[in-house]
Amino acid sequence: MSSLKIEDFYDLRFIANLNIANGRTFFEIYRPVEKSNKYESEIFELKGAKTVKFTRGNEDRDAVIDLTGFRMAYLTRVEKKTSVFIKNIETGEERRLWETELTVKKMMWDRLSKGLYIIAQDKPKDDDFRILEKYPMYFNGEGFFPTINYQFLHLRLNGKVQKILELDGEMSDFAVNPSRQEVAIVERPDNWDVYDSRIRIIDPLSKESNYIPGVRGGVSSPVYDGDGNLYFLFSKQERSIFESPKLFRYKNRKIENLLEEYDISPENSVNSDSRMGITKRMIPRGGYIYFIATVEGRAGIYRVGENKRMEGVVKGDFSVDSFDFDGDRIYYVAQFSNVPQEIYQFNGQSRRITIINSRLERRTLRSAKNFRMKASDGKEIEGWFLGGQKRGTILEIHGGPRTSYGEAFTFEFHLINSLGFNVLYSNPRGSDSYGDDFALEIKEHYGERDYQDILEIIDYASSRLGVKKEKIGIIGGSYGGFMVNWMVGHTDQFKAAVADRSISDQISFYFSSDIGPRFNSDQMGGNPYDNLEHFWGKSPLKYIKNVKTPLLIVHSDEDYRCPIWQAYEMFTQLKRQGSVVRMISFKGENHDLSRGGKPKNRVKRLEEITKWFESKMS
């Protein structure tokens, strides 16, 4: 076995959209391609342990299978157009049903398999000017909003399209009722806050609609069972926008919380730079609703039934990204800390089925050592440690803040580790998967208990894991980038630092981020007009004259979550005061560069980060 190299990124395969129909298992593989600098996507079928290509193209994706299990619809992108293809699963016959310049966000078969419902988005016009009339004026990964944002369409099998609904706002998801003519659409009108959505129940024939009463907040993942009951995730956001959602059921015009007694996160919040594409989050089956939930840095499959008792079905030291049923057997896509995504089968016991990422597994990929430590206030903090070859230690800080590190594969960690560095990562206060109190403890107190937890993790690693405190570097992205900027302004502990897609100025962030006013009013408290001193006090820029740590700033020029002037402000002052600083800006990339940017830019980002640590940590 040999060490992992940067170019091995092109051997990484992302597995998504697992679907089982009539005993046949289908899934999609995304792969980064160096020559074209894009991700090719192909639809495969699992035959035994072999993976066989099922469709012909290399830009096929987002497959959906009708209720009969005999027809598949999928999307293909060619240049600037998207096509919908229909394929007979039994005979292999296929045809192009529709071609459009609209952006297709999601599609599902109607309940009678006579056509497809589609959420489509208008593309912004490429003019030399831009008229702004909305707020937010842009959204990360979406760009500037056009006049009419979203349409809900019905595409018949004869190719005719009917517009059912047009919304000057956003439609983020929908579900089709299999028992009657009804669709549930998650929508956000354009005059609503970016964190608020509702559920519209619409009859596609009459176009009559109503809303589920009392549902306004964080809404996602709707799905119907065979009896026409609707399940969805919903956060009332009574304590914070980062309050964990609960699993609700809408039955007989009443909603009920099925997880009222459980303080868990019914989603996969474990960070990874090695996943892409559609994931299936919830499946109703046999009187239960099965769902993915994250518990202490591990994403597993759980279920809850009429008794409202949650049970773990498939769980362990790994993270599940997608799943489906074949009779009583569960097929699922999962990743371990040292094994990228593969397909597994659970039938009382789990066994691995595929070797799709076997090329990477031929490299030296160490297993992370899991540890738990007691913070100075008695709270338990969980972390992981990848042992290296005595070149020093790189401390990673996750974004969010309400996400988590855990039992999942991160290419970046193993690449840094392959250079001889230890890699230390953890879930300090503010992290997800340890309950709402743990996650919300840093609300309005950024840079306090989270900062202290990180310093105490370093102390623990020094005393228990052999880490040398004089040879530690630090890197973080988004909220983690904020923490890097904050920490280098408050301690000289680190030999080198990397701030990725970071925040430096809470005041300008409030006014310019796509989520700024709501996010910062919730996380900082109030607004800069009424609380200017507090906002400035929570800005790393205030402490920048203390910075002695060499800092690499990584940012994207179309990052509308943490706008690039957050990086410019930091870079300008560090240069003016003579600090050691370097910045790399990626043209045309957004906040998700590290996990979804163009392949060559992702590789370049990793090159800059590893070269920085190698040069500054020696």
Query: Tokens at residue 419, please?
Result: 């250079």
Q: State the Cα–Cα distance between residues 235 and 242, nearest whole angstrom.
A: 9
Maximum C-alpha span of the chain: 70
403-438 burial string, b = 16+ CB within 10 Å, else e? bbbbbbbbbbbbbbbbbebbbbbbbbbbbbbbebeb
First to last CA, the chain: 26
Residue among 451, 430, 427, 448 at smallest CA distance from 439: 430
Phi, psi (deg, nearest 5) at residue 529 = -65, -45
Q: How many CA atoms lie within 13 A of 426 on its CB side?
A: 27
Beta-bridge mates of residue 283: 290
Does residue 408 belong to any structural domain of this protein? Answer: yes
Q: Mean pLDDT for each consecutive 10-residue tract of the chain (618 residues)?
A: 94 97 96 97 95 96 96 91 96 96 96 97 81 86 79 97 93 97 95 93 97 97 97 96 96 96 95 90 95 97 97 98 96 98 97 97 95 98 96 97 98 98 98 98 98 98 97 98 98 98 98 96 96 98 98 98 98 98 98 97 98 96
How much is the pLDDT for 148?
A: 62
Contact call for residues 414 and 394 (beta carbons, < 8 A): no
Residue among 553, 521, 552, 561 at smallest CA distance from 538: 521
273-302 burial string, b = 16+ CB within 10 Å, else e? bbbbbbbbbbbbeeebbbbbbbbbbbbbbb
pTM of the model: 0.97
Does residue 590 belong to any structural domain of this protein? Answer: yes
- Round the average pLDDT of the chain to a whole number and report it: 96
The length of the chain in residues reads 618
Q: Quick: pLDDT tens for 522-566.
A: 999 999 999 999 999 999 999 999 999 999 999 999 999 999 999
Does residue 601 belong to any structural domain of this protein? Answer: yes
Query: Tokens at residue 369, please?
Result: 């050592």
Per DSSP, 197 falls in state B
Contact call for residues 593 and 501 (beta carbons, < 8 A): yes
Does residue 548 belong to any structural domain of this protein? Answer: yes
Range of the domain at 443: 380-616
Does residue 270 belong to any structural domain of this protein? Answer: no
Residue among 354, 402, 426, 326 at smallest CA distance from 14: 354
* Helix pair angle (449-464, 479-488), 10° resolution: 80
Q: State the Cα–Cα distance between residues 37 and 40, nearest whole angstrom.
A: 9
Residues 6+ apart with CB under 8 A from 51: 29, 44, 45, 354, 356
> How do 198-202 and 183-189 pair as beta strands?
antiparallel
DSSP 446-498: TTSHHHHHHHHHHHHHHHHS---TTSEEEEEETHHHHHHHHHHTT----SEEE
Q: State the Cα–Cα distance between residues 483 and 477, nearest whole angstrom.
A: 9
Taking the CB of residue 83, how many other CB atoms lie within 10 A of it? 18
Q: State the Cα–Cα distance between residues 104 and 120, nearest whole angstrom.
A: 4
Residues 6+ apart with CB under 8 A from 189: 167, 168, 169
Output the domain CATH number for residue 536: 3.40.50.1820
Contact call for residues 617 and 561 (beta carbons, < 8 A): no
Does residue 439 belong to any structural domain of this protein? Answer: yes
- CA-to-CA dists, residue 525 to 443, 506, 514, angstroms: 8, 11, 18
Does residue 241 belong to any structural domain of this protein? Answer: no
Does residue 26 belong to any structural domain of this protein? Answer: no
How much is the pLDDT for 142?
A: 86
Phi, psi (deg, nearest 5) at residue 455 = -65, -35
Number of domains observed in the structure of the chain: 1
Q: State the Cα–Cα distance between residues 183 and 174, nearest whole angstrom.
A: 7
